[in-house]
Amino acid sequence: MGAFTGEVTALPPDKSISHRAALIGALSEGVTEITNFSAGFDNQSTLGVLRDAGIVVEQEEIIGAYGRNIRKVVIRSKGLWSFMAPEKPFMCNNSGSTMRMFAGILAAQPFESQLVGDSSLMKRPMKRIAEPLRMMGARIGLSSDGTAPVSICGTKDLKPIEYCLPVPSAQVKSLVAFAALHADGESRIIEPIRSRDHTELMLGLETIDHSDGARVIVIQGRQPLEARPFYIPSDPSAACFIVALGLLGNGSEIIIRDVCLNPTRVEFIPVLTAAGADITIENSRIIGGETIGDILVRSTPGMKPLVISDKVVVAGVIDELPMLAVLSAFSSGEFELHNAEELRTKESDRIDAVVVNLERFGFECEQYPDGFRVIGRRSMPSGEVTIECFDDHRIAMSFFVAFRATGEPAVLSDSGVVGVSFPNFFDIIDSLES
């Protein structure tokens, strides 16, 4: 097992906040400047659909903190109804965030449009976005399987809505909020289980917290948005891979700078510290409504196995679950997960993808509809293991971290898929290896 030491200052900008900053900029009146925008494929897909809708989008590289090149995006728009009918379907590529959240905007535009994606995205469920938009008065068409293409006949006469989210989903919450900005009246979104709250923070929406943990988000329709600047902090979901590397690598000590520490995004940290992980937070501060700070991680042999079943916790670590599962398996030999059926509808069936690859490493697993269990390791692989990435960046990175930290011989079936969210992933890991 190798040691990984050093300072990470070039973690990718946060994907979720980048998507929302671009979409909110397109809905605002004036010039929106976004500093440290993500270069990942998914976020570039969001900029692409905005350009195709007639929004002026400019990008350039500037010198940012620590002397590194960062991306600045400038968006020029005239407000809520600045979008133009497209000449062809909007291509979202692999980005479910782009497809789902942009649908909320298109539902309020007085023209017909269609959203499509790559072969993976075209298989992902879209019924959950159609229901609330139909309730508001838009006409939404899906395939017979409830998937893309998403056909939208928008209207400027959207009705306000009170909508209770059937499952925790920041994407669905955001698309309803974006549509509700155009509606003639006050809309309310009821969220029984909290999901990431960037949209509420960035739009400055009124929120009401109930004693049972539920939250109500209030949106006043047809109020003009004034353009304002955004700064995108480092992606905590990307930081999770570096944290896992530090925990697994014997003798490692890594500090990760300027990470978004929004409580709805870093649930993986208390999950890991409860299992004994040596993780501390330094230099915490607030920029643009988001908590930002540095994460210090040291190698931690003898971590307790992770058991994750609480629905609130599952919602808080949904993107990090593949890495948490792989980390727990390689550090303790065990892992258990329940109430995570949402993982089956991501870029891949992540429950099956993790189990398939763990079994290639000799782990014994049991799979359930809503999760799986790693019972232990029955054998060591006899030769080099090929990790099947399933066209999924998080599966690829989770297993790469494990075999790089432990020194076990393995190779990825498709290393290029990491560019979806973490283009410089391999460079950062190379720079940390002692």
Residues with a known catalytic role: 319
- The residue whose two tokens read 């900005």 is 181
H/E run at residue 196: none
Distant-in-sequence, close-in-space partners of 130: CB < 8 Å, separation ≥ 6:
140, 142, 146, 150
Task: Using alpha carbons, list the distances in angstroms from residue 49 to 93, 102, 270.
Answer: 10, 8, 37
Please, is 305 exposed, middle or buried when counting C-beta atoms within 10 Å of its C-beta (0-12, 13-18, 19+)? middle
* Closest to 202 in 3D by CA, of 83, 10, 26, 421: 26
How many angstroms from the chain centroid is the CA of residue 103? 17
Cis peptide before 149 (omega within 30 of 0): yes
Q: What is the DSSP string of 284-305?
A: EEEETTEEEEEEEEE--TTPPP
Here the tokens at position 164 are 């209770």
Q: Are 181 and 225 in contact (CB under 8 A)?
A: yes
- What number of CA atoms fall less than 13 Å from residue 51's CA on the CB side? 13
Cα dihedral value 126, 160, 316, 367, nearest 10? -30
Rounded CA-CA distance 222/180 in Å is 8
Q: Are 267 and 193 in contact (CB under 8 A)?
A: no
* Closest to 174 in 3D by CA, of 144, 138, 198: 198
* Closest to 347 in 3D by CA, of 114, 52, 117, 168: 117
Rounded CA-CA distance 69/9 in Å is 11
